[in-house]
Chains A and B, each alone.
Chain A
Amino acid sequence: MAKTPLPKNLELPPAMIEGATSVADWVIVWPIALPMLGAAVLLMARKRPEWQAPFAFLILLATLVANVMLYLRVQAEGPLSMTMGNWLPPYGISLTADSLSALFSMVSAFILLIVILFVQSEIETRENKYGYHPLLLLLLTGVSGGFLTGDLFNLYVWFEVMLIASFGLLIIGGRKIQLDGAVKYGFLNFLATTFFLIAIGFLYGLVGTLNMADIALKAPQVEGGAIAAVAALFFLAFAMKAAAFPLNSWLPASYHAPDPAVSAVFAGLLTKVGVYALVRTHLLLIPQSHGQLQVVMEVVAGATLILAPLGAMAQTNARRALGFLVIGGIGAMMAGLAIGTPLGVFGLAAYAVNSMLVMTALYLVVGLVERMGGTSDIRKLGGIYRANSWLSIMFIVLVFAVAGLPPFLGFWPKMILVLAGIEMQSFWLVGLILLNSILTSIAGSRLWAHIFWRDGREGVNSEQINTKIRPLPQRAVVWGLLPTGALVAFIIVAGLWPEPLFRAGGDAANDVRLASDYVGAVFERVPETKGEGE
């Protein structure tokens, strides 16, 4: 059907980008596309278990390089955006990276690179055949997609990608405890994404757009209680995803069930996407909601900060105790969100990086301890220091880092959060952040004392040497201890030389504060004058 020529007087708004997207802008697609392609290829090659690990490692290496390139680009030129299918925003689906999202995406790829090495120390042939590596790559796809997307509905889709990949990883192996944990994890997380979808529906009804930059332009003009209700729904959904108190019960119920490597990835990555989404919605998309919900945020942050380490102290299962420490970190990030000033977001971003690295490393160390002791029950462990002093040194360093003792990595973000709290005059929140540090170091050092320092198991013979400890097999030393040691070394160096962390956190806070840059990056492609439209 031949089209009649366009009438000269027709006024159509521009909707398409003319010409191809420049190749340099594709850098924002690779962190998502590479792991997704890798997962697809590995699924096709599932009959070749020997290919899985090397290929996954290469793909992750390439993903990390792509992430670093994206981060450097964002550092140099400010927020970067690309809209799919040559549609102009807000019609097409945008991917948008600013310093915050590029930073989180980069750290996620780095963590997965370490974990994929660790996986080689424990993977069984059967698990390998059922798609362990593809699921890990898909998880990273979902996480990076969630960080880098510039479209709210697209964020929902990435949440679901992340969710289905984590379901698979949670039950691979099929032990009873895994099925039990997966039921609780599955139902509650699915419910959280459903709440998110409800909030998206209402927001679309109010502002008529789903592009984040477009929402950031339109939502502040919507007045009245409706937008506050939508913001509260977002807060509910994302706080559940982030496992903030009182919506945290799914995390300690499930994170200790799968393999240690899977626990480590979950602890490092999943909850932080929830935190990131909270920052996006409450500080960028609907900025007026931060004031409306500030009291709720403060109460949630304070309660999470205190109750999580108390929960950790009450556990006899080491990995469940670590689950509570993950939640404690979420409390610190929620405090940064509640403060909401640039300094608060600075502390939040830096703490999130710290928490991603440190919690992953803690789970990996405890995974090796379980290998040696055959259990994660701290009453039955003991004497690991005598058997493997390196592991115990790593563990105590990580405990100090998670509690925020100087000169380790966790100290610097907590210092920023305390400064931000003092600046905002919310002294009780500052007090709770400091109290959290004390309680966390008590909980962590109790774990250390029982697992490592004590000579034997609990009971009358606790001074006798624990004979149930087996040395780590060669495979676990090469693939387990070395990557974990490298991660811990990285954490120590980053703690002693915190300059890059400060710069990254400051840039992230700057980008979140300057919403106009984010919006500008998305809409810069709009042509100044409309052409003939052909």
Chain B
Amino acid sequence: MEIALACLIGLFFTVAIYLLLSRSLIRMLLGIAIIGNGVNLLIFTVGRVTREVPPIVPDGEYAPLEPIANPLPQALILTAIVIGFSLFAFLLVLTYRAYQELDADNTDTMRVAEPEDSPRPPLSY
């Protein structure tokens, strides 16, 4: 199970890095979304894939009776999903606004902050 998950995570990262290397912002956004999911799967896997027993202590007991699933990775993933989703939403809107204002979806043509034909520094002094 771990090996299958590890291969899946590797696939996610491969795809994400391929997309992030693109010049198109939309592809980069897709890459960001996929790498986020890859990381979530990774946290799930390194938290050990255990039996699907919910970590609930039965009534009248003070400790679970049998080995339970590790709840911490799931809490971490939940947090990471929420944060990743909100930042992704922000980047999505930002990209759209940048497309409207700069008329560019290609990072090579987004040169307002760093002009391509930037002048040489003055040679005096």
Contact = CB atoms under 8 A, between A and B. Distances in A.
15 contacts: A12-B63, A160-B87, A174-B97, A174-B101, A180-B111, A180-B113, A183-B98, A187-B28, A204-B46, A204-B73, A257-B113, A446-B125, A458-B122, A458-B124, A462-B124
Interface of B: 20, 25, 28, 32, 35-36, 39, 42-43, 46-48, 59-60, 62-63, 72-73, 76, 79-80, 83, 86-87, 90-91, 94-95, 97-98, 101-102, 107, 110-114, 118-122, 124-125
A262 B10 CA distance: 39
Residue with the greatest number of chain A CB neighbours at <10 A, chosen from B95, B120, B122: B122
Chain A, interface size category, equals 35 or more
A187 B102 contact: no
A176 B125 contact: no
A378 B122 contact: yes
B83 A157 contact: yes
A186 interface: yes
A254 B113 contact: yes
Nearest to A171: B94
The majority secondary structure among interface residues of chain A is helix
Looking at A190, A200, A252, which has the most chain B CB atoms within 10 Å of its CB? A190
B81 to A, nearest CB: 11
B125 A449 contact: yes
A197 B39 contact: yes
A314 to B, nearest CB: 6
Contacts, number: 124
A183 B110 contact: yes
A157 B81 CA distance: 12
A187 B35 CA distance: 12
B98 A379 contact: no
Interface stretch (A3-11, A103-111, A133-141, A391-399): A3-11
Given A171-B94, A454-B124, A180 B112 contact: yes
Contacts of B86: 164
A198 interface: yes
A527 B91 CA distance: 47
B89 to A, nearest CB: 11
